[in-house]
A and B are shown apart, each in its own frame.
Chain A
Amino acid sequence: GQNIDQPTEMTATEGAIVQINCTYQTSGFNGLFWYQQHAGEAPTFLSYNVLDGLEEKGRFSSFLSRSDSYGYLLLQELQMKDSASYLCAVIDSNYQLIWGAGTKLIIKP
């Protein structure tokens, strides 16, 4: 079966850095997404990686290693508004989006 693994919950301090890991087992791979979802709201797009390496976008960066079936989302200079769930999703060989269960990030002052 297809599976996306990411931690259920993480806690970090305001101003710090946090890395949310995602490993996947899918039938084929056509890209890895990260979405942010605040409680009661729809997910919003953060990043898309299809090639190996790090992509930096302001305070948020996303990394992919296809050989390791692994990616991570790096959040720097954490702000209280970053408290949300972060969803990892992979596009498989049939171009279906496979979702992880999400990582709830709690930011403490």
Chain B
Amino acid sequence: GAVVSQHPSWVICKSGTSVKIECRSLDFQATTMFWYRQFPKQSLMLMATSNEGSKATYEQGVEKDKFLINHASLTLSTLTVTSAHPEDSSFYICSAKGVQGDYGYTFGSGTRLTVV
């Protein structure tokens, strides 16, 4: 089945630094990538939607200059948290939708970000 590889699984960084999270679709082409954030005991919150080769569409309240998304190829999308602060500590998950147009959404394994 479709697999999305997400790295790193967890990261601890100092306040003010930037962190890059990668999601790669291993055996299919991901035309659309969704980036979610999930705080403890809460549901997934969509941050942005990116289509290959175009700018990401951010949800209301999500700072596009802080959460940089790049979807340069059909198999790779990255989320960079710039100038991270402790309130950015969360579980970040990507989800890819394939080119076949089916309704399968494949999730990455998630990245636990802790900003100290």
Contacts and interface: CB of A to CB of B under 8 A. Distances in A.
Interface stretch (B63-71, B75-83, B99-107): B99-107
Contact of A41 (B43, B44, B106, B109): B109
B105 A44 contact: no
B105 A97 contact: yes
Give the bracket for the number of chain A residues in contact with chain B: 20 to 34
Contacts of B109: 41-42
A87 B95 CA distance: 15
B110 A42 contact: yes
A87 B103 contact: no
B110 A101 contact: no
Given A87-B43, A100-B43, A102-B43, A42 B108 contact: yes
A21 interface: no
Contact of B44 (A40, A50, A99): A99
A41 B103 contact: no
Contacts of B93: 42-43
B77 to A, nearest CB: 15
B44 to A, nearest CB: 5
26 contacts: A33-B105, A40-B91, A40-B110, A40-B112, A41-B110, A42-B6, A42-B93, A42-B107, A42-B108, A42-B109, A43-B44, A43-B93, A45-B104, A45-B106, A45-B107, A48-B104, A87-B43, A87-B44, A91-B103, A97-B46, A97-B95, A97-B105, A99-B46, A100-B43, A101-B42, A102-B43
A-B interface, 10 closest residue pairs, ranked by CB to CB distance from nearest: A42-B110, A101-B43, A42-B107, A42-B93, A99-B44, A42-B109, A31-B103, A102-B43, A99-B43, A43-B107
Interface of B: 6, 34, 42-44, 46, 49, 91, 93, 95, 103-110, 112
Interface of A: 30-31, 33, 35, 40-45, 48, 50, 87, 91, 96-97, 99-102
